[in-house]
Structure 1
């Protein structure tokens, strides 16, 4: 018999259990031996990071076990395959209308697999279901939800006492001060390859111990597909060109962010929130495609620089976050081939052509609600660019315009409600500005092209 359950709003565990878990040091629950199987909740399961996380979990059943999957509901067939593959106990679907499609897909897959009586996972529909998934008792919660919607889930998981593997950088960008107040030492682990690399170069960071002698953190980036373009060429970039990333296959927003280097700006803000260094000590360099093997570096005052290197494959930083502070399971990916010759090059970022990094530092230095404005204004501008309404270069111009007109809410006054109000304000003002922006250039083609 198939089971369907609509949960009460909020975390599903009893209050007493939640308080007890939240009072325990994170290390006491996740630092067991390699034989310990960690229970994992995956938010954003059908996205790029979520799907790869399912692959990592399924490949290492002696280390990981998925207990809850959550997704928006746009791809119920994939979510059903993931649920059957992992044996997840519960599935959250933000769009309640997708529950029926998920149920039908799951039943069909179970029959095809020769297990027609395979029990349906507990269904957690709507935003209440997502909140229940975020508060579900587990060892590790992977937050791979898209956009600023991931912030409430991060706060819920931190309050529940779970180790949070954070792939939703908007959580830290928009709500960094909120997360800093909610997280205990060692409770937050980054999934982004750059921040994963940095934490591996900082001995003791996982245990909340200070790492002495850090001079600078250096984030690497491919430079995107337009790193050699002139300003005139950048103004003529089309959405199709911007969506063709040289290294990674990602969603449209993140791919365009990589082309404008807004993604690197967000990562600088994220690095400051995670590692508590000043913005003057966090920088970015271009490590161009097809190299992309040095994922970030930590420079020490004694003159040494530690770097983490690996082929570009998101399964490794995902596995690192799920297993942290242990090493991930063996053979997650093939290592670099050190028997051959290699050439690694690094280039400075031209901030005149790519001002996103300067704007990110400015927003981060203003603090409070300003990083949320940076993020929201960018998302509105990217949507307009992908719709063909504005040129590529108007994306960062829109961010600058909205930031200029924002009066920041200071860190100590920032609440979740204030973050949401700031996000709405920034989107409204971005849309107003976009109505007056220079239209995207019309690209004429010759007959027969």
Structure 2
């Protein structure tokens, strides 16, 4: 009788336990309430079911699942949700987060209907391009490319053509400026204004991330000519900052027109770098148009000067021979060239456009031609850039001469500096 009673109780208990898995049980949740899943054996890790309890700890799952709650497997043993993230450099990024790869902005995005994420990057070309470097290197060209100028890293080409150049398109009126012809027939094979007028030629400027090439070229050409045309008496480094801050007809670091820049130097006048240092941005103009250097708080390089440093009317120089004549007789000149992606990579040698890289995007750039030369019969101009001394040949570059390479001989201009009367060169 006792054995019969024991078997009956055991069967009833088994029926109660197996009832945990019958489809007609209350829907729950059980373990799903507050995420009750527990490790090991924890008797409090339970939930009410009918008139008894079921468990949500590891101990309940002993093979037969004899006292686990009905949702134990689904809630406590299901695989964790996959991590939907992008990975970059051992770091996880959630959808919507952004990173930069060189100049590219990349956004972490989730694939539709998939638990996978990826970085979607823009395809704007960067200034620095491995394709350009390898292409120029394999060409055995007359110039060499550099793989990665740090000042250009992380910069887009479309932005570089604004902020590392700055010369705005020439209008028809500017292109029609008078073109005097004074060329002679015989010139030396080599001429460098730095050697011909030692100490008179202004140093290389770094325009930084500001489209001020137009202002820098006007200031440096005028500086050179003040020193040359005064026999060194008015040796001054003029500041391009006055154009950025005070020339309201220009667009500051967004670019400027060379005729308006030279006209400003003629009517308003320039000041020296010590009086107004270059800041590579637009600052408040602290000068009045009618003031002189004394009123500006500037210190003239000669006692006889009180007016700002002004220049005469702009004139155009039309061909290779005239450019050479102008440089040897009056000093460096202002040239405008077209810049493509490959030019940013220039390291040394005689530059010729390679056509590697992007050949659609381009911009106009003001530079200062200071001389010329020949290398085994290969003629070139010596040109000062405005990207600092770490670029190119200590801030300079050489470019093929006599072939109007990238338009450098198409639009060349200059202006006489208004030197103090007592120091004019005779």
- TM-score band w.r.t. shorter chain: under 0.3
- Select the structure of larger CA radius of gyration: 2
**TM-score, length of structure 1 as denominator length:** 0.24
Q: Larger helix proportion, structure 1 or 2?
A: 1
